[in-house]
């Protein structure tokens, strides 16, 4: 028996994540969506994963094209996160007015981001109502210098300007790991 879906969503909302825009290019058209289900898988080979809901249009385009790019958004790019999350329903072309670029795969990469990675699909796994796309990174860049856009408790957020000193609230734990 599975956990109640409402409780499950509440639990997972407590995990702070970065905000990304996952894109692909297929048959002359660009597709993209906002996602926070992104992480590294392996350093050698360089693999990342994105989890995309099966009912979304971009999902089938990634399957068909075999490529995707992930742009990690900065706090200043919140409007793009909202745009690619579909929060501006009257906007038909989510790329309109964005001077994106491409790298190796042809997938759009949004400018002035924290970082980006361009990938070819290496593996596809069933993940319930989502698909787990594992991509091999063929290009990437981390210009940095910006503050990340975060997603926590179903809200857009940012890092605190100053926090406690790292390790200050943890007891000294010698030799345990």
Residue 173 belongs to some domain of the structure: no
pLDDT in tens, 68-127: 999 999 989 999 999 999 888 888 899 999 999 999 999 999 998 999 999 999 999 999
- Residue 122 structural domain: 8-157
Token digits for 16?
Answer: 């702070």
Structure tokens at 140: 């990437």
- Pick the more confident residue, 5 or 121: 121
* Residue 38 resides in a domain: yes
Q: In what order do the strands lie in the sheet with 130-141?
A: 29-35, 20-26, 67-72, 115-127, 130-141, 47-53, 38-42
> Residue 160: its pLDDT value, please?
67
Q: What is the mean pLDDT of residues 121-145?
A: 94
Residue 163 covered by a domain: no
Does 169 score more than 60 pLDDT?
no
Q: Which structure tokens are listed for 88? A: 């501006």
Q: Confirm whether 166 is domain-assigned.
A: no
Domain count, the chain: 1
Tell me whether residue 168 is in a domain.
no
Instruction: Please check the confidence at residue 143 and state whether its pLDDT lies above 60.
Output: yes
Residue 166, pLDDT score = 54
Q: What is the pLDDT at residue 49?
A: 96
- Predicted confidence at residue 167, as pLDDT, reads 52
> Does 175 map to a domain?
no
- Please give the pLDDT value at position 149: 85
The CATH number assigned to the domain holding 52 equals 2.30.110.10
Number of C-alpha atoms within 13 angstroms, CB side, residue 31?
18
| Distance (Å, whole) CA 69 – CA 90 | 25
pLDDT digits (tens, 9 = 90+) for 10-61: 887 776 778 999 999 999 999 999 998 999 999 999 999 999 999 998 999 9
pLDDT at 52: 96
Mean pLDDT of the 3-9 span: 85
**Positive/negative CA dihedral, 163, 168, 174, 176:** negative
Residues contacting 62, CB < 8 A, separation 6+: 22, 24, 31, 52, 68, 121, 133
What pLDDT score does 43 carry? Answer: 94
User: CA-based angle 98:103:108, to the nearest 5?
Assistant: 30
**Residue 162 included in any domain:** no
* Residue 82 within any structural domain of the chain: yes
pLDDT score for 171 = 47
The strand ranges marked E within 19-163 are 20-26, 29-35, 38-42, 47-53, 67-72, 115-127, 130-141, 150-152, 155-157
pLDDT of 115: 93
């Amino acid at each position: 028996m599975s956990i109640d879906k409402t409780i499950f969503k509440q639990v997972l909302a407590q995990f702070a994540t970065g905000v990304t825009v996952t894109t692909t290019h297929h048959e002359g058209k660009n597709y993209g969506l906002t996602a926070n289900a992104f992480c590294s898988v392996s350093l050698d080979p360089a693999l990342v994963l994105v989890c995309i809901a099966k009912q979304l249009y971009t999902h089938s385009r990634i399957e068909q094209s075999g490529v995707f790019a992930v742009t990690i958004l900065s706090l200043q790019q919140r409007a793009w996160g909202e745009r690619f999350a579909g929060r501006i329903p009257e906007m038909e072309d989510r790329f309109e007015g964005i001077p994106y670029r491409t790298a190796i795969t042809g997938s759009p990469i949004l400018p002035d981001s924290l970082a980006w990675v361009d990938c070819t699909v290496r593996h596809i796994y069933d993940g319930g109502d989502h698909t787990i796309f594992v991509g091999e990174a063929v290009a990437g860049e981390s210009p940095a210098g910006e503050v990340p856009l975060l997603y926590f408790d179903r809200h857009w957020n940012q890092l605190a300007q100053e926090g406690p000193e790292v390790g200050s609230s943890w007891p000294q734990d010698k030799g345990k790991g």
